[in-house]
Amino acid sequence: MPTQGLLHSSSRASTMDATDDAALLKAVAQRRDQDAFLTLVSRYEQGAFSMACNLLANKDDAVDAVQEAMLDVWLSASSFQAERGKPGAWISRIVANRCINLAKKRNRIRRLGRNVEKRETLEPAPLPAETAAWVVSQLLTQGRVRRWYLGITGRQRPMDRWVAQLYELTNTHLVEVMFVEPKGPAARAGMAEGDLILAVNDRTVASVDDLHRVLAEWPPKPATLKILRGLDRLAMRVIPTEAP
């Protein structure tokens, strides 16, 4: 989805770009102004994502937290009080609270970017523009980001050339499973750390963001994941549940 078309779809875009944050929040609160909301998202999404990465030390969790925080901004803009602080500080508190709540839900204790379980710490990276545009469209059309949950943590990695040749694959990248949550949908299906996800229901998955989008669009029924495990190519039937 081209980000430019979504984030700047209105002739009012240049006017909104010059509007201060407090006025934008007021427009969202009083008129449910979508242009104002999109402008706020474009201003704060990257900073929010970096904060979430530092607090949660996991890119997937950070994306989830930012999505929920942006929805909170849309729904509770009327609660902003200018006399109590600046809009940026208000939005930052929303992001921090979402990070804390998410960590509690998933029973992952992290402290300011230091993973207490001593898994790999994530360096903050930009939130992909395509993902940001998709998130905003979900919020505006559905009021939330609805995503089905596999119970894994993954990362993008390049496809080994010899593997692509062996199985006649066109993927240049795939998703490596780094962690499988006990008793989650993926664990129940038999997925293991080190598995490489190629596709979901015949839709190629080249990144964690691709996986998020496929799961957001997938109805609540079993999904077939094509994975590589060592030299074995497997089709695994997974029944996703809605993300907590």
β pairing state of 196-200 and 203-204: antiparallel
Q: For residue 160, give every residue at least 6 positions away whose Cβ sits within 8 Å of its Cβ, in sequence order, or none.
A: none
C-alpha dist (Å) from residue 74 to 3, 27, 69: 19, 11, 9
Distance CA 195, CA 146 (A): 25
Instruction: For CA atoms 100, 34, 129, 211, give the dihedral sign.
Output: positive
Rg (CA), the chain: 19
Where residue 120 falls among pLDDT bands split at 50, 70, 90? very low
pLDDT in tens, 14-31: 556 668 999 999 999 999
User: Residue 80: its pLDDT value, please?
Assistant: 92
Q: pTM score, two decimals? A: 0.51
Nearest of 134, 5, 121, 124 to residue 53 by alpha carbon: 124
Structure confidence at residue 96 (pLDDT)? 86
Q: What is the mean pLDDT of the chain?
A: 77
Domains of the chain: 3-142 (1.10.1740.10), 148-242 (2.30.42.10)
> Which of 42-51, 115-124, 147-156 has the highest mean predicted lDDT (pLDDT)?
42-51
pLDDT at 125 over 60: no
Tokens of 20: 């201060």
Q: How many residues does the chain have?
A: 244
Query: In sequence order, what are the beta bridge partners of 155?
Result: 176
Q: What is the pLDDT of residue 145?
A: 58
